[in-house]
Amino acid sequence: MFDNLVSRARVSIAKRRQYNRLVAEIENLSGRDLADLRADRSEMLYQIRKQIYAERQALTRTANRIAKGNSGQSDLSPRGRGTGKRRRQPLLP
């Protein structure tokens, strides 16, 4: 149990280091560099966060699907909710 805790902490620290390194690299790009790349700084930051930290969510969904024996799709829907239609909230009360 302790080994599992230590290994998870090491993985988390490694992910955070990688994220911080990439954020620093993106933050150092000038506006001209971003224009040359035809890139948006906020989109780049979003994508690196998604790639580094989304792995855990994907693994959780896969584990849930295996545990259910591929019986349902509810674990694959956005935000882990059911596949039923959501009711739209009125814009004004």
For the chain, what is the domain count? 1
Residue 76 lies inside a defined structural domain of this protein: no
pTM score, two decimals? Answer: 0.55
b/e per residue, 21-36, with b = 16+ CB within 10 A? ebeeebeeeeeeeeee
Q: Measured between alpha carbons, how far is 92 from 86 in angstroms, rounded to an integer?
A: 18
Domain with 15 in it: 2-70
Residue 8 lies inside a defined structural domain of this protein: yes
Residue 84 lies inside a defined structural domain of this protein: no
**pLDDT on residue 75:** 45
Residue 47 lies inside a defined structural domain of this protein: yes
Q: What is the pLDDT of residues 19-74, one digit of tens each?
A: 999 999 999 999 999 999 898 999 999 999 999 888 665 556 666 666 666 544 55
**pLDDT on residue 53:** 87
Residue 91: pLDDT band with limits 50, 70, 90: low
Checking if the pLDDT of 6 tops 70, the result is: yes
What phi, psi does 73 have (nearest 5°)? -105, 0
**pLDDT on residue 42:** 92
